[in-house]
């Protein structure tokens, strides 16, 4: 199934959110070791890094908090509990403003290990917000899917991860509901 990739650093955020595939029932972060392996594979951690259960729980809370924000980018309400959890995790990550040789301000993680990897993901979110691409990163509103995708539509009106699958399913479901209620 084609799922829209995001440009630049937003692809890291999209891939991070999609480590849990609700439709397939799979979870890439099923242990601290799998978390470290994924971060290492993404170039966010070195091979010597380790993680514990608390690191895993922070990563899962960050992922689901970002998923909630992406669902809000698709017109849904933000769950207050997710925001509280998201803020708890972001409070455990130290980011510092640094300037590159051209004078451009960037956020850099000042911690190490899993905290640094989480910080790089958060920095990508902040940059995307500042640069205007954040609103195009969305989560499919289909409760059975919730896959993160990048909306490439001209007017930013893309709703489904794919029209061929979730879009058709949800439209057919709405049609059946209208028929059943006598409004179709």
Domain limits, the chain: 10-181
The maximal CA–CA distance of the chain, rounded, in angstroms, is 65
Q: What single string gives the DSSP state of each residue in 56-120?
A: HHHHHHHHHHHHHHHHHTTTPPPPHHHHHHHHHHHTTS-EEEEE-TT--EEEEE-S-HHHHHHHH
Predicted pLDDT of residue 2: 41
Asked whether 161 and 147 are in contact (CB, 8 A), the reply is yes
Residues 6+ apart with CB under 8 A from 182: none
Residues 6+ apart with CB under 8 A from 90: 62, 122
Asked whether 107 and 126 are in contact (CB, 8 A), the reply is yes
Residues 6+ apart with CB under 8 A from 126: 95, 107
Q: What class has domain 10-181?
A: mainly alpha
Instruction: Give pLDDT < 70 ranges for the chain.
Output: 1-3, 160, 162-165, 167-180, 182, 184
pLDDT above 70 covers what percent of the chain?
A: 86
Q: DSSP letter at 4?
A: P
pTM for the model stands at 0.85
CA distances from 9 to 5, 19, 32, 124, 183 (A): 11, 16, 24, 6, 45
Predicted pLDDT of residue 117: 97
Predicted pLDDT of residue 156: 75
Residues 6+ apart with CB under 8 A from 167: 159, 160
Query: To which H or E segment does residue 176 belong?
Result: helix 168-181
Nearest alpha-carbon partner for 23 in 118, 154, 161, 183: 161
CA distances from 174 to 23, 146, 171, 181 (A): 19, 18, 5, 11
């Amino acid at each position: 199934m084609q799922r829209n990739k995001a440009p630049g650093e937003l692809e890291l955020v999209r891939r991070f959110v999609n480590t849990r595939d609700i439709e397939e029932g799979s979870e890439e972060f099923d242990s601290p070791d799998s978390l470290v392996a994924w971060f290492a594979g993404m170039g966010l951690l070195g091979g010597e890094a380790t993680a514990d259960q608390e690191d895993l729980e922070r990563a899962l809370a960050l992922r689901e908090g970002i998923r909630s924000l992406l669902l809000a980018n698709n017109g849904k309400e933000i769950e207050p509990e997710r925001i509280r959890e998201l803020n708890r995790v972001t409070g455990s990550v130290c980011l510092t403003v640094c300037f590159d040789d051209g004078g451009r301000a960037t956020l850099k993680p000042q911690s190490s290990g899993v905290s640094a990897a989480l910080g790089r993901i958060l920095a990508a979110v902040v940059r995307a917000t500042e640069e205007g691409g954040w609103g195009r990163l969305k989560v499919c509103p289909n409760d059975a899917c919730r896959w993160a995708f990048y909306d490439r539509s001209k007017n930013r009106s893309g709703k489904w991860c794919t029209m061929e699958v979730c879009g058709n399913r949800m439209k057919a479901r709405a049609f059946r509901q209208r028929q059943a209620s006598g409004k179709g």
